[in-house]
Structure 1
Amino acid sequence: MSAAIAIAVFVVAYALIATEKIPKMVAALAGAGVILVIGIVGPDEAFYSRDTGIDWDVIFLLLGMMIIVGILRRTGVFEYTAIWAAKRAKGSPLRVLLLLVLITAVASAFLDNVTTVLLVAPVTLLVCDRLDTSPVAFLIAEVFASNIGGTATLIGDPPNIIIASRAGLSFDDFLTNLAPIVVLEIAALALLLPWLFRGSFTTDPARAAEIMALNEREAIRDRTLLLKSGAVLAAVFTGFVGHSVFHLEPSVVALVGAGLLVLISGTRPSEYLAGVEWETLLFFAGLFVMIGALIRTGVIDHLAHLAADATGGNALVATMLILVVSALASGVIDNIPYVATMSPLVAGLVADLPDQTHGQALWWSLGLGADFGGNLTAIGASANVVVLGIALRAGHPISFWEFTRKGSIVTLVTVLLAAPYLWLRYFVLA
């Protein structure tokens, strides 16, 4: 009975989010409220459990980076980067898009994808304002690039960290096994974008000429604050990359960095808190509670077992099934709890296989499916929700279905490319 109620609440909330009848934050918090009032998940499980509760690491990582970005915005560095990118692209919106997509993909491999989009989105809004073109296509494309690029390394996407811990895989393992397909996927995305967003790259030639005449160095308003912010960002990035060495969670690194920058910058609370996307943080909190109810009642575990049992002991069938199921599931629910639930089952399948090369294919299919599936819908990955929140506040709302129509195509293409890669590398050429 509890499982049926949890499913019903999630489906209704998801429908409200998808149809945008009410703000997505309201839908998520209302769904979470029903779950808590009925008692499917209690307060202790909702607020303190790592398995069924709010993922505070995600919430505080977002909060810390939003504060840092808010202070960094005051330096003028985003305007500098926007002008620089537009000039390098000769004022062509399509070339600007491709340049920003490449920057986003590379950055997402070495930072978490949420941090990357928090840094790139303000630049995008500014360069589109300079070019007098809508930023919607740019922002959506950058989310796609972020979710794909983050797949390449152990630290690029949170599910990869879970997989590495369960499977005993190293940073080099991810780089050598996943980076090649990610490069191919980014190239495919670059070829797909002009068709996917056709009609979105028009601009006034006079505006392009004006940009070419600008001096980007004049955009820097506070060089001292820029130096302080750069030093803190460098320290934060070092903490992200070396979190396994320093034994500090990315959320702790982000919060400490935010606190340090607030301290040394002398910024007033009204200034650095103005950049915090409170609606996005509350939406995540509600979504985590609803997903926690699905985990608590065994719904996700049951679905994962069904997927595992359907393989029949065939490694190739298991690899392809895990890839497809992971992509579909991660487009609907957060890929972090999905991978956390699925990884023990994959570990069991791997242990039963005589060929460990085939066993590794199962792990990589789980990672590729979960990471690429994040592009399927507007709530498939944290980066998606963050960018939609930024776009809304900037006056350029992106609807659930506008994102999902494009995202479903990108997910289909990336999964179709990943399937032969897994087959060739781990079953034909192994």
Structure 2
Amino acid sequence: MTVIAVVVFVIAYVLIATEWTHKLLAALGGAAVLLALGVTDAEHAFYSHETGVDWDVIFLLFGMMVIVGIVRRTGVFEYIAIWAAKRAKGSPLRVMILLTLITAVASALLDNVTTVLLIAPVTLLVCDRLGINPVPFLIAEVLASNIGGAATLIGDPPNIIIASRSGLTFNDFLVHMAPLVVIELIVFTLVLPWLFRGSFDVDPERVDGVMQLNEREAIENPRLLIKCGAVLLLVFAGFVGRAVVDIEPSVVALLGAGLLVLISGVETRHYMVSVEWQTLLFFAGLFIMVGALVKTGVIGSLAEQIGNVTEGRALLAVMLILVVSAVLSGIVDNIPYVATMSPVVLELTKGIPDPVQAEALWWSLAIGADFGGNATAVGASANVVVIGLALRAGHPISFWEFTRKGVVMTAITIIVAAPYLWLRYFLLS
């Protein structure tokens, strides 16, 4: 069964990467084969928290897609697009920097998936106004969202899993992860002109046209905007305070969507058209395939090898976890990877007498998984969501187009993170 799980996953991954067939067909086809051959079953695929579809992610996405669909009717995305373009004086590079920084900060306060759902429509609109290709901007924002989301406990789903296993608090993540994220964002901003070189040419006439626009005229329904704003504030409060109120993000999103549907009066067809069904089904298939790897012990075996190699040497363990997590989180979704790796890290911490160095193992896992999610188009949930939104808008992003940028940025962030871990937890501790 282990061999079958690996072979099916590899074939599906190759099909997704090469785009020989539609990624949805590859993901659902791979899941169907694993179910048909008995490698996994309905119990593990649909009901298991460790090896099945992560319904929290699916329904979080669904709820936020409905909310975004209703918010779009207000014209606020057009308002923000014009505002951003005017503040950047029409410069595509300044627009990219502005939008990526907004994305990174918002991803730390909310979560990266919710943030890209809100920012992507703005990006598509501002690029349309300027007459430039939105694909580089969307990719840059996804990279920024995964970096920014690493700063807090709620910013990236792997951090929540790590916190529950390790006992680390919201403040712990702020103190230990936020300083590194600030450094990474500075580096990211400096790298942007080089990483996306050739993407900043713009017609001066389009710039002049944008500068003459009045963003206030874009608001089509002020009353609906007020209602949307109130509901979004409640949803954001639910996300930020979920550790206190003990309510899952998916429930917060669904309650917010239901409330907004109830009070907005928007017809069903207007907001349901914003639901990316292909993206949701792709996630389901991917979760089932990765769950089969977890169920058959493939990911667990890989994780345990780290413990055998390090033999209680803290610095080696930290660096090995960092690199392996970055690599594997780019291949499989970082959520099931962290869920599998967390018990291994917990055992490794017991063999390290220095509490500061033992805690560094958790930070290396978080950094590797969060930043490693940038490596490929399927490494993190935000990546898949933006690629789906781009396809819907008529600007498809290929697996390799994303991965060429993502691998470079992952390598840079890991190279910056390694000395940070060494200096903070070993040299200066």
TM-score by length of 1: 0.99
Q: State the one-letter code of the partner of 2:128.
A: D
1:416 matched to 2:415: yes
Separation of aligned partners in 1, 2:418 and 2:251: 37
Separation of aligned partners in 1, 2:239 and 2:266: 24
1:319 matched to 2:296: no
**Tell me, what secondary structure is at the counterpart of 1:275?**
coil
Shift of 1:153: 0.4
Shift of 1:90: 0.3
- Identify the residue that residue 12 of structure 2 maps to in structure 1: 13
**Tell me, what secondary structure is at the counterpart of 1:58?**
helix
Q: State the one-letter code of the partner of 1:210.
A: G
- Identify the residue that residue 88 of structure 1 maps to in structure 2: 87
Q: State the one-letter code of the partner of 2:76.
A: V
Separation of aligned partners in 1, 2:307 and 2:184: 27
Separation of aligned partners in 2, 1:43 and 1:409: 38
- Identify the residue that residue 248 of structure 2 maps to in structure 1: 249
> After the TM superposition, which residues 215-364 of structure 1 pair with which residues of structure 2 at under 5 Å, given as runs?
215-364=214-363
Shift of 1:351: 1.4
Query: Residues 52-83 of structure 1, C-alpha deviation per residue, up to 9 Å, x if partnerless?
Result: 11000000000000000010001000000000
Separation of aligned partners in 2, 1:292 and 1:154: 24
**Tell me, what secondary structure is at the counterpart of 1:74?**
helix
Separation of aligned partners in 1, 2:358 and 2:315: 10
Separation of aligned partners in 2, 1:77 and 1:308: 51
1:101 matched to 2:116: no
Separation of aligned partners in 1, 2:351 and 2:378: 35
- Identify the residue that residue 379 of structure 1 maps to in structure 2: 378
Shift of 1:308: 2.0
Query: Residues 323-349 of structure 1, C-alpha deviation per residue, up to 9 Å, x if partnerless?
Result: 000000000111111111111111111
**Tell me, what secondary structure is at the counterpart of 2:319?**
helix
TM-score by length of 2: 0.99
Separation of aligned partners in 1, 2:295 and 2:378: 21
Shift of 1:113: 0.3
Shift of 1:310: 1.2
Separation of aligned partners in 1, 2:356 and 2:379: 30
- Identify the residue that residue 198 of structure 2 maps to in structure 1: 199
Mean Cα displacement is larger for which, 116-125 or 303-312? 303-312
Q: State the one-letter code of the partner of 1:192.
A: V
Separation of aligned partners in 2, 1:73 and 1:133: 21
- Identify the residue that residue 124 of structure 1 maps to in structure 2: 123
Query: Residues 111-145 of structure 1, C-alpha deviation per residue, up to 9 Å, x if partnerless?
Result: 11000000000000000000000001100000000
Q: State the one-letter code of the partner of 1:315.
A: A
> After the TM superposition, which residues 156-167 of structure 1 pair with which residues of structure 2 at under 5 Å, given as runs?
156-167=155-166
Separation of aligned partners in 2, 1:426 and 1:183: 18
Unaligned runs of 5+ in 2: none
- Identify the residue that residue 189 of structure 1 maps to in structure 2: 188
1:426 matched to 2:425: yes
Q: State the one-letter code of the partner of 1:308.
A: G
- Identify the residue that residue 141 of structure 1 maps to in structure 2: 140
Q: State the one-letter code of the partner of 1:288.
A: F
Separation of aligned partners in 1, 2:143 and 2:41: 36
1:170 matched to 2:169: yes
Separation of aligned partners in 1, 2:276 and 2:80: 22
Shift of 1:49: 0.9
Separation of aligned partners in 1, 2:250 and 2:76: 24
Separation of aligned partners in 1, 2:348 and 2:48: 27
Runs of 4 or more, structure 1, over 3 Å off, are none
Q: State the one-letter code of the partner of 1:81.
A: I
- Identify the residue that residue 73 of structure 2 maps to in structure 1: 74
Q: State the one-letter code of the partner of 2:132.
A: T
Q: Percent identity?
A: 69
Separation of aligned partners in 2, 1:335 and 1:402: 20
Q: State the one-letter code of the partner of 2:41.
A: G
What is the aligned-residue RMSD (CA, Å)?
0.6
**Tell me, what secondary structure is at the counterpart of 1:267?**
coil
Q: State the one-letter code of the partner of 2:338.
A: V
Shift of 1:44: 1.5
Separation of aligned partners in 1, 2:97 and 2:229: 25
Query: Residues 360-406 of structure 1, C-alpha deviation per residue, up to 9 Å, x if partnerless?
Result: 11000000000000000000000000000011111111100010011
Separation of aligned partners in 1, 2:108 and 2:197: 28
Shift of 1:247: 1.3
**Tell me, what secondary structure is at the counterpart of 2:74?**
coil
- Identify the residue that residue 63 of structure 1 maps to in structure 2: 62
Q: State the one-letter code of the partner of 1:248.
A: I
Separation of aligned partners in 2, 1:338 and 1:386: 19
- Identify the residue that residue 50 of structure 2 maps to in structure 1: 51
Separation of aligned partners in 2, 1:246 and 1:123: 31
